[in-house]
Chain A
Amino acid sequence: MAQKPKTATPAPASKPKASSKPAPAKGTPALEWASAAVGLVLAATAIGFTAWDALFGAEGPPAIEVKLIEVTPTAHGYVAQVEAFNHGGEPAAQVQIEGVLSIKGAQQTSGFTIDYVAEGSKASGGLVFERDPRAGELMLRATGFADAS
């Protein structure tokens, strides 16, 4: 075959015919396949997971369980680290966590607010008391929330 003259003219825009491109290196590079495969896996995961959740995910309002993780005495009171877990089917926003500590008839109430607890997820925070929660009875619960979104 006769070789094409080696001119650097970048003006192939004469006709929009199908074969206007010289088509360099016909095959698709392996890396392209690989990255497309990664993309496919990720897209399938995201879509599949979301679809599965939409179809079979838990239903119902947020159901928030609050449990005590650890009590740490500090110079500024006893810090009770607590964890809130949402067993329900909807995310909850502005979740108010309250802890009531009763020691020999005396009560102290502490609380804090968590921005979001998604369904099937947990969030944590701390309650601060003047006296040691381990010495008395600590009642933990979520007192309210707003619907997310």
Chain B
Amino acid sequence: MDANAVYARALSRAFGGALLFSFPLLMTMEMWSLGMAVERWRLLIFLLLTVPMLIGLSYYAGFEPTFRLKDEVLDALAAFGVGFLLAAVLLAVFGVLRGDEICTQAGLGKIALCAAPAAVGALLAGKQLGERGPGAREKERAGPLSELFLMAVGAAFLAFNVAPTEEMVLIAYQMGPWATLALVAISILLLHVFVYQLGFPGETRRRQAGDFRRTFVAFTCPGYGVALLMSLYLLWTFGRTDGVAAHEVATMTVVLGFPAAIGAATARLVV
């Protein structure tokens, strides 16, 4: 009825979504330590990238059915606020943030790092928890570039859930070169099958761009490329690549590229 009441409901939904998407990270130890250990420049770049990413995402799945740039920006900012507040409150409740720490760079780093996935969750909540089905407006926009953007967000989002953990490095150390190549093959295969063969609900009708080969080259390969790029970026942000031999960095990227590829493939499902 009242526009404010409608918006308040959307805002509550956003909190719900933020909670749903970010609590695994909020309850992961590495996120806390990384929050203070991440190099400041990398954290700054990460935060600066988060904002346009949120605006772009808002264009697809904002918690209001909007079209105008002003509203996308407003939605993105509100989502960031929701994510930040949620992360701050929960981290404080979990005893991660002590009272005197909130205003130091360590405390702020912890909150800011967790705020980003929470903000994504807040934005997605509009669609995930809302009554709207996949609207007609999405299909209009499914150009190759927007497709790639969605894949990138999906990849980053899923990869972010595991990227901070020590296990990524450990798995990379445990795997030999052949296992790495096998993982590459599995990732690409899964990406292709998930996107173009299984027909998950919520997927837009896939434009099977002609035959298998064309689909593979035109969609699957760029998708995997984006997934690897996102993996490498996240590893770099978290300082996992510093001083590590090139082949280990490659292995780590492939390891993280596995969840990233699944994220890219299911971006339509999640995002």
Partner of A120, one of B4, B76, B106, B238: B106
> Once A and B bind, how many residue pairs between them come within 8 Å at the CB atom?
130
Q: A120-B105, A121-B101 are in contact. Are A36 and B74 (CB under 8 A)?
A: yes
A-B contact pairs, 9 of them (CB 8 A): A12-B136, A21-B67, A28-B70, A35-B11, A38-B78, A39-B77, A50-B40, A118-B106, A149-B33
Interface residues in B96-131 (C-beta closer than 8 Å to A): 100-101, 104-106, 108-109, 111-112, 115
Beta-carbon contact of B108 and A54 below 8 Å: no
Whether B84 sits at the interface, judged by CB under 8 Å, is yes
Whether A51 sits at the interface, judged by CB under 8 Å, is yes
Partner of A35, one of B44, B81, B101, B136: B81
Query: In the complex, A41→B100 CA distance in Å?
Result: 21
Cβ–Cβ < 8 Å partners of A30 in chain B: 4
Partner of A46, one of B36, B77, B111: B111
Cβ–Cβ < 8 Å partners of A51 in chain B: 44
Beta-carbon contact of A36 and B104 below 8 Å: no
Query: In the complex, A84→B75 CA distance in Å?
Result: 42
List the 8 closest pairs (A to B, CB-CB), nearest first: A39-B81, A13-B136, A118-B106, A39-B77, A148-B37, A29-B3, A54-B40, A149-B37
Query: In the complex, A74→B140 CA distance in Å?
Result: 72
Beta-carbon contact of B48 and A25 below 8 Å: no
**Interface residues of B, Cβ cutoff 8 Å to A:** 2-4, 6-8, 11, 33-34, 36-41, 43-44, 47-48, 51, 64-65, 67, 70-71, 73-82, 84-85, 100-101, 104-106, 108-109, 111-112, 115, 136-137, 140, 238-239, 242
Cβ–Cβ < 8 Å partners of B109 in chain A: 50, 118
Closest A residue to B79 by beta carbon equals A39
Closest B residue to A23 by beta carbon equals B67
Partner of B44, one of A36, A39, A50: A50
Cβ–Cβ < 8 Å partners of A50 in chain B: 40, 43-44, 47, 105, 108-109, 112
Chain A 77-99 interface 0/1 with B at a Cβ cutoff of 8 Å (1 = within) = 00000000000000101000000
Query: In the complex, A40→B2 CA distance in Å?
Result: 24
Query: In the complex, A29→B80 CA distance in Å?
Result: 18
Query: In the complex, A122→B37 CA distance in Å?
Result: 14
Whether A57 sits at the interface, judged by CB under 8 Å, is yes
Beta-carbon contact of A149 and B38 below 8 Å: yes
Query: In the complex, A32→B78 CA distance in Å?
Result: 8
B21 to chain A, nearest CB (A): 17
Beta-carbon contact of B78 and A39 below 8 Å: yes
B233 to chain A, nearest CB (A): 16
